[in-house]
Amino acid sequence: MQSDDIAWGVIGKGQCAYKAPSKTQMFCRNEFNLTGLCNRASCPLANSQYATVREENGVCYLYLKVIERSHFPQRLWEKVKLPKNMTAAVKLIDENLLHWSKFVRQKCKARLIRIHQYLIKMRRMQLNQHQKIIPLARKIERRETRREAKALIAARLDNAIEKELLGRLKEGVYGDIYNFNQKAFENVLDQEVEMEEEEEIQPPQRQFIEDFDESDDDGDDDEDIEDAAYTFDADSDDESDEDDASENEEDEASDNQEEGSDIDMEDIGSKKKVSFAPLPKAAPTKVSKKATKKRRGAKIEIEYENEATAPRKKIIS
Amino acid sequence: MAARPLVTVYSEKNEATGTQVKCPAVYSTPIRPDLVNFIHDQLRKNKRQPYAVSTKAGHQTSAESWGTGRAVARIPRVRGGGTHRSGQGAFGNMCRGGRMFAPTKTYRRWHRRVNVAQRRYAAASAIAASGIPALIQSRGHIIDKLNEVPFVISDKIEGFKKTKEAVAFLKAANLWDDILKVYNSKRYRAGKGKGRNRRYKQKKGPLVIYNNDGGLVQSFRNIPGVSTVSIDRLNLLKLAPGGHVGRLIVWTESAFRKLDSIFGTFSRLSDVKKGFHLPHPKMTNADLSRLLRSEEILKAIVPKPSTAIVAKKQRHGNPLKNRALMKKLNPYSSVIKRAGRAATAKSQKA
């Protein structure tokens, strides 16, 4: 019924849950195994009389198993605490395993010695305060560095810094003290001169302005059959209105700049002082706006205004 | 070897009751893992459902070979025209849309008949193996804290109605670790079985063998890994799952007592299985290594006869090179050599 040979006959050649084969050898994952190998003499399942030495939290214990208790798994292993002194422990092992097989005795002592050795090493290592080795997950690291680079680019730090500094300059934080780089300063001036020239050469532009609701009756009288063909959307008219307003603003700003730059040209020799006059409020001049009128049929209104540089404005409904 | 004399019965709270049952003779049956494996293999085939390809598959065309002379392979080709299909190969296993090689048939021999005696032997063997803790452990069950093997519980668990009671019992009996192992082992099946209602795989836990089902089956059935079997209908597929002996078995007292009558002993016939008694082992004491080392046998062994002392073999020398050897063999050789030397000396002088 209960026989070690039978057990080994089933376990050794057949299926065992603790077997862990490698290419060269068969290992045993059973925690009570003396050698860690899977063979007839080392198998804790196939030997009714067996002993091991195990270490728990730095304390070594001798585990004994006898055939009398083989059917009571809970009480199977007898646990004997071994003294910390290795020679005393070896002596105790000899006492307990007095008439046991030579193999078990020898292996228990060998195991005890090895355990003591690695415990000493552990203690020594703790004193040395080894650096903690943290594994890097390669994929994650690669991913994160790339993301950091992208985030850096997306932040556009140069632009933000530039804006911030210009803002501060305009606010007057630096007062009159700010020293510009001469070359950069001259570059800016040159650019401004170019801008002025461009603006003066600009040809008179056509401007399309929206209708206003008030002038309903006016429009009816002045109908032109020729102009009836034209039909523009309300949206495009709105856009043209905005363009008109912005263009006016630009003109005024450039005018101011011209003045400012004139003053500063004089001061180049001594100190490069630049003071910006506060930005003028956008006030569209001489443009009369009337509320838009809902398109009813082909009604056309034409408005003429007297301006120095006022171009013709066609109002088409 | 004698069977273990007495087995203690435990209560549902895992305390030893006073009762002790004599261990049935089944536990002394020879353990035949090879037989169990074979029988298990055969019996597992009996629950199969036939599968086959349609008989018409691949033949529902009127294809005919174009013969030679058309600069195409001679495989039968689909007739007619007007579709992609016309002119394509048909019928062969190599053709697209053709019948497979050796179409599977429903009349394949799906089931196996197994000799009754063999089936009974295998079942008895499996039960015997379940009485050896080493084999239970090697099969993978966790029995570190189990009280006794074989594990017999009072009949109270047959009356369990709630799974809660069953779980409480398993925890008290220190069997819960085995069930935790089952929980942790649940994983997806590899392959198409996933989509064929066999999605999960998990390990097996303990087997509960009962006599009368007073709710036991229902209370234990929702616990993963636990199987239940009636003592009257023992199943090898449950006693040795996977063909491996040594399942962890929990017996109820009445079921355990019935074992002797079901299987009989080595001499006494079974009450239930007609003409059956437990198979005799080939060796009454199977512990071969112990036998060979035992005093009785060692004494009886005739000692090996001492062999005659053989002279140490001398290394053979060459007498033509070794003058001493030559002298031993032919003492006159030294005279011949002396004469020869004198003659050469004379001729040289002259």
pLDDT, tens digit (0-9, with 9 covering 90-100), for B110-155: 999 999 999 999 999 999 999 999 999 999 999 999 999 999 999 9
Residue B288: band (very low, low, confident or very high) from pLDDT cuts 50, 70, 90: confident
In chain A, what residues touch B174 (CB-CB under 8 Å)? 74
Distance CA A192, CA A175 (A): 22
Name every residue whose Cβ is closer than 8 Å to that of residue A229 and which is 6 or more positions away in sequence.
none
Q: How far is residue A151 from each of residues A144, A147, B212, measured CA to CA in Å?
A: 10, 6, 72
In chain A, what residues touch B245 (CB-CB under 8 Å)? 10
pLDDT of residue A174: 80
Interface confidence (ipTM) of the complex: 0.76
Span B197-214, average pLDDT: 96
Instruction: Look over chain B and give the mean of its residue pLDDT values, rounded to a whole number.
Output: 92
Q: Residue A211 region, left (φ>0) first, then alpha (ψ -120 to 50), else beta?
A: beta
Span B44-59, average pLDDT: 94
Give which of B32, B135, B247 to mutate to test A binding, by max A Cβ within 10 Å.
B135
In chain A, what residues touch B287 (CB-CB under 8 Å)? 3-6
- Alpha-carbon gap: B93 to the closest alpha carbon of chain A (Å): 41
In this model, does residue B205 exceed pLDDT 90?
yes
Pair of tokens at residue B261:
């009558």
pLDDT of residue A164: 92
In chain A, what residues touch B128 (CB-CB under 8 Å)? 1
Distance CA A67, CA A63 (A): 14
Give which of A4, A15, A47, A70 to mutate to test B binding, by max B Cβ within 10 Å.
A15
The answer to whether the CB atoms of A14 and B244 lie below 8 A apart is yes
Chain B touched by A1 (CB under 8 Å): yes
The answer to whether the CB atoms of A1 and B288 lie below 8 A apart is no
Distance CA A2, CA B300 (A): 26
More confident residue, A307 or B318: B318
Chain B touched by A45 (CB under 8 Å): yes
- Alpha-carbon gap: B16 to the closest alpha carbon of chain A (Å): 13
pTM of the prediction? 0.66
In this model, does residue B8 exceed pLDDT 60?
yes
Q: How far is residue B50 from each of residues B43, B46, B106, B111, B233, measured CA to CA in Å?
A: 16, 11, 6, 10, 26
Span B46-60, average pLDDT: 93
The answer to whether the CB atoms of B137 and A7 lie below 8 A apart is no
More confident residue, B46 or A15: B46
Which of B4, B131, B138 faces A16 most closely, judged by CB atoms? B138
pLDDT of residue A14: 87
Pair of tokens at residue B99:
């019948």
pLDDT of residue B9: 96
pLDDT of residue A187: 82
Span B285-308, average pLDDT: 83
Contact (Cβ atoms closer than 8 angstroms) between residue B335 and residue B342? no
Chain B touched by A6 (CB under 8 Å): yes
pLDDT of residue A236: 46
- Alpha-carbon gap: B39 to the closest alpha carbon of chain A (Å): 16
More confident residue, B183 or B315: B183
From first to last of its 317 residues, chain A has per-residue pLDDT tens of 467 888 999 999 888 999 999 999 999 999 999 999 999 999 999 999 999 999 999 999 999 999 888 999 999 999 999 999 999 999 999 999 999 999 999 999 999 999 999 999 999 988 987 788 899 999 999 999 999 999 999 999 999 999 998 888 888 888 777 677 888 778 878 888 888 877 776 677 788 887 776 555 555 555 555 555 555 544 444 444 444 444 444 444 444 444 444 444 444 444 555 555 555 555 544 544 454 455 555 666 777 766 555 555 556 65
